């Protein structure tokens, strides 16, 4: 391809709405163009890289036993019910039938399995697709990192039992490891929450970067790593002596944990915090140690609710709760969930359920009852690892893939069953495996760049070589460059030929911004030695290579 013919052009100015490195560089290098918020056109350079990523994915999924299919984007809304209703795009056809644009395809693929799987002889089965998805993100950001229209590779395995699912899961896990290695990306595998799709044994592949929207809690001393939504830590026991009798104390004007703890001269870890939520329309009273914070994902999972939000002050008062002085002591008629930290000590300070009043020496379960005791706390860096006791750290990253075991959630719901050897019917055991090619494209740029531009891994670069002639009147630079362009293509080397009448500075800047792995410069100076200049994008200094050897040299490098 000749640069003069490219539909896209490089930009010198940083786009005003670009809020991370990959977004800025992809727009400036002419890889993508925004139509509306969260919706992008892939320009030739970006599309070439995306197709290379997709081909690597196909190759590894095929080796793992996958069969590629293509499922519709347009779904009947009744297939979905209320699931993911907050981010689904919906529309109506001319018969006023409600439709939805698929944000994912669990229901559709399970319906296929229900149609085509009859017997245990039809299993195991591994189906995958690379398909466009639509999600009405409330805050699309970061270019392709969080878009409303995006490319997704979703795979689904179907087995007769959990043992078969374990085998399928491990095969896809290894395929994913191979994909990231071949794409030149360094990822971290972490425990994760399954989210709206459901399931268990959930793992995410996180590409670490400061611009990432996900927080990962990990232990440098062992292999423990988890998304902050899932992570747990050791809750240290608080030495409070022997349980003492309840004591009511006045706390005038004191409402927050910090105010009460300071007034009564106790650490926040010796207090019990009251938090209030509305879960699927029902008021819920939460209790957690004062130095900890509620993890709302864990809370939602424990409550098995679809909608969870903080209760308003009006809703708290309407429930008969005194804001700033509330506790579960004596509470009746309200569902209570407590973090397991309520058992980590004795003689806590908690609300007295009267204005300007608190209780000292509150102990569980002596002084209050709860409906659920579970880990609902957010783990943070500095706390102890639940695996080895080491000190936890945190980092940020981009989720580029997510795999989990669905079990029989969808097969039971949609009647996807098989007959065993005895003719008895059982629900198919399923696994789900998502990977975002478009997000992977952005993540690659996020991970591989410098202050000059993108640094593409060879395997997913739009082209291998940036051919940069620097002609001068009376020289043979243009003639030699044209022949080299043809010879490189004939040798199977992908070339972007900068045939523009621009200065060396402009050409070199664009070469660095676009970030192809190798740059060949043809100039009067190099031709004096019957050679060209070869520079790797990852290295500072170029090398002089004879013209007769440049193709074999590049083949070896590529």
Domain segments of the chain as ranges? 14-231+394-446, 247-374, 463-557
State which CATH number among 1.20.1260.10, 3.40.50.800, 3.40.50.720, 3.40.50.2300 fits the domain covering 463-557: 3.40.50.800
Distance CA 233, CA 283 (A): 28
pLDDT, position 196:
52
Torsion of CA 204, 208, 209, 210, to 10 degrees: 80
Predicted model pTM: 0.88
**Given phi > 0 = left and psi -120 to 50 = alpha, else beta, which region is 359?**
beta
- Which helix (H) or strand (E) element contains residue 173? helix 162-182
CATH architecture of the domain formed by 247-374: Alpha-Beta Complex (3.90)
Chain segment 77-123, per-residue pLDDT in tens = 999 988 888 899 999 999 999 999 999 999 999 999 999 999 999 99
**CA 500 vs CA 4, 470, 471, 504: distances in Å:** 6, 10, 10, 10
Say if residue 103 is exposed, middle or buried (CB neighbours under 10 Å; 0-12, 13-18, 19+).
buried
Distance CA 95, CA 495 (A): 52
Q: Collapsing DSSP states into helix, strand and coil, what is residue 200?
A: strand
Distance CA 437, CA 154 (A): 10
Q: Collapsing DSSP states into helix, strand and coil, what is residue 154?
A: strand
Beta strands (DSSP E) in 124-255 are 125-134, 149-159, 188-191, 200-208, 214-218, 225-227, 247-250
Q: Could you give phi then psi for residue 40, rounded to 5 degrees? A: -130, 145
* Look-up of token digits 């579960």: 328
pLDDT, position 181:
96
Distance CA 344, CA 168 (A): 40
Superfamily of domain 14-231+394-446: Bira Bifunctional Protein; Domain 2 (3.30.930.10)
- Written as tens digits, the pLDDT of the chain (558 aa) is 999 999 999 998 887 888 889 999 999 999 999 999 999 999 999 999 999 999 999 999 999 999 999 999 999 999 998 888 889 999 999 999 999 999 999 999 999 999 999 999 999 999 999 999 999 998 888 899 889 999 999 999 999 999 999 999 999 999 999 999 999 999 999 998 876 555 678 899 999 888 788 899 999 999 899 999 999 999 989 887 899 999 999 999 999 999 999 999 999 999 999 999 999 999 999 999 999 999 999 999 999 998 899 999 999 999 999 999 999 999 999 999 999 999 999 999 999 999 999 999 999 999 999 999 999 999 999 999 999 999 999 999 999 999 999 999 999 999 999 999 999 999 999 999 999 999 999 999 999 999 999 999 999 999 999 999 999 887 899 999 999 999 999 999 999 999 999 999 999 999 999 999 999 999 999 999 999 999 999 999 999 999 999 999 999 999
* Look-up of token digits 């659920």: 372
Return the bridge partners of 133, or none: 150
Distance CA 26, CA 395 (A): 24
* Look-up of token digits 């229209």: 149
| Long-range contacts of the stretch 352-355 (C-beta < 8 A, 24+) | 352/248, 352/249, 352/251, 352/325, 352/327, 353/321, 353/322, 353/325, 353/326, 353/327, 353/329, 354/322, 354/325, 355/322, 355/324, 355/325
Give the distance, in angstroms, between the CA of residue 60 and the centroid of all CA atoms in the same chain: 21
Contact predicate 410/420, CB 8 Å: no
Residue whose C-alpha is closest to residue 370's, from 301, 274, 244, 294:
274
Contact predicate 348/267, CB 8 Å: no
**CA 530 vs CA 474, 479, 488, 525, 526: distances in Å:** 16, 13, 17, 9, 6
* Look-up of token digits 């789900």: 432
B/e letters for 226-252, b = 16+ CB within 10 Å, e = fewer, are bbbbbbbbebeebebeeeeebeeeebe
pLDDT, position 195:
63
Q: Could you say which DSSP state residue 210 is in?
A: T
């Amino acid at each position: 391809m000749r640069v003069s013919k490219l539909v896209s052009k490089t930009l010198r100015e940083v786009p005003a709405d670009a809020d991370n490195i990959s977004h800025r560089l992809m727009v400036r290098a002419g890889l993508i163009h925004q139509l509306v918020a969260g919706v992008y056109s892939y320009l030739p350079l970006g599309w070439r890289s995306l197709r290379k990523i997709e081909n690597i994915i196909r190759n590894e999924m095929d080796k793992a036993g996958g069969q590629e299919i293509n499922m519709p984007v347009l779904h009947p809304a009744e297939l979905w019910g209320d699931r993911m209703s907050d981010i689904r795009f919906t529309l109506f056809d001319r018969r006023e039938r409600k439709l939805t644009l698929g944000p994912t395809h669990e229901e559709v693929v399970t319906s296929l399995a229900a149609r085509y799987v009859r017997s245990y002889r039809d299993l195991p089965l591994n189906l995958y697709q690379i398909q466009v998805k639509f999600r009405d993100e409330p805050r699309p950001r970061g270019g392709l990192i969080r878009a409303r229209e995006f490319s997704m590779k979703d795979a689904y395995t179907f087995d007769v039992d959990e043992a078969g699912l374990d085998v399928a899961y491990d095969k896809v896990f290894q395929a994913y490891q191979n994909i990231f290695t071949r794409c030149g990306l360094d990822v971290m595998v972490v425990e994760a929450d399954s989210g709206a799709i459901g399931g268990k044994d959930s793992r995410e592949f996180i590409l670490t970067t400061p611009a990432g929207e996900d927080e990962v809690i990990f232990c440098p001393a062992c292999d423990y790593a988890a998304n902050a939504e899932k992570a747990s830590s050791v809750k240290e026991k608080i030495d409070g002596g022997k349980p003492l009798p309840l004591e009511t104390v006045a706390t005038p004007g004191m409402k927050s944990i910090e105010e009460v703890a300071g007034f009564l001269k106790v650490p926040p870890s010796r207090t019990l915090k009251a938090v209030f939520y509305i879960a699927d329309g029902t008021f819920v009273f939460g209790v957690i140690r004062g130095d900890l914070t509620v993890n709302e994902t864990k809370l939602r999972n424990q409550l098995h609710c679809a909608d969870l939000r903080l209760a308003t002050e009006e809703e708290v008062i309407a429930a008969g709760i005194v804001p700033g002085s509330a506790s579960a002591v004596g509470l009746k008629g309200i569902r209570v969930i407590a973090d397991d930290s309520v058992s980590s000590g004795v003689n806590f300070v908690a609300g007295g359920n009267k204005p300007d009043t608190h209780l000292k020496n509150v102990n569980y379960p002596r002084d209050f009852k709860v409906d659920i005791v579970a880990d609902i706390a957010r783990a943070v860096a500095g706390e102890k690892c639940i695996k080895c006791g080491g000190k936890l750290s945190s980092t940020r990253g981009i989720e580029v893939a997510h795999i989990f075991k669905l079990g029989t959630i969808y097969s039971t719901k949609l009647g996807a069953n098989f007959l065993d050897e005895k003719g008895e019917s059982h629900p198919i055991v399923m696994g789900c495996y998502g990977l975002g090619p478009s997000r992977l494209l952005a993540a690659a740029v996020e991970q591989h760049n410098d202050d000059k531009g993108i640094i593409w891994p060879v395997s997913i670069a739009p082209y291998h070589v940036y051919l940069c002639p620097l002609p001068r009147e009376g020289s043979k630079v243009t003639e030699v460059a044209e022949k080299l362009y043809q010879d490189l293509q004939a040798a199977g080397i992908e070339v972007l030929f900068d045939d523009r009448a621009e200065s060396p500075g402009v050409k070199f800047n664009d070469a660095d911004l676009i970030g192809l792995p190798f740059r060949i410069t043809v100039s009067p100076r190099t031709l004096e030695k019957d050679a060209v200049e070869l520079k790797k994008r990852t290295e500072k200094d170029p090398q002089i290579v004879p013209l007769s050897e440049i193709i074999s040299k590049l083949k070896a490098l590529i």
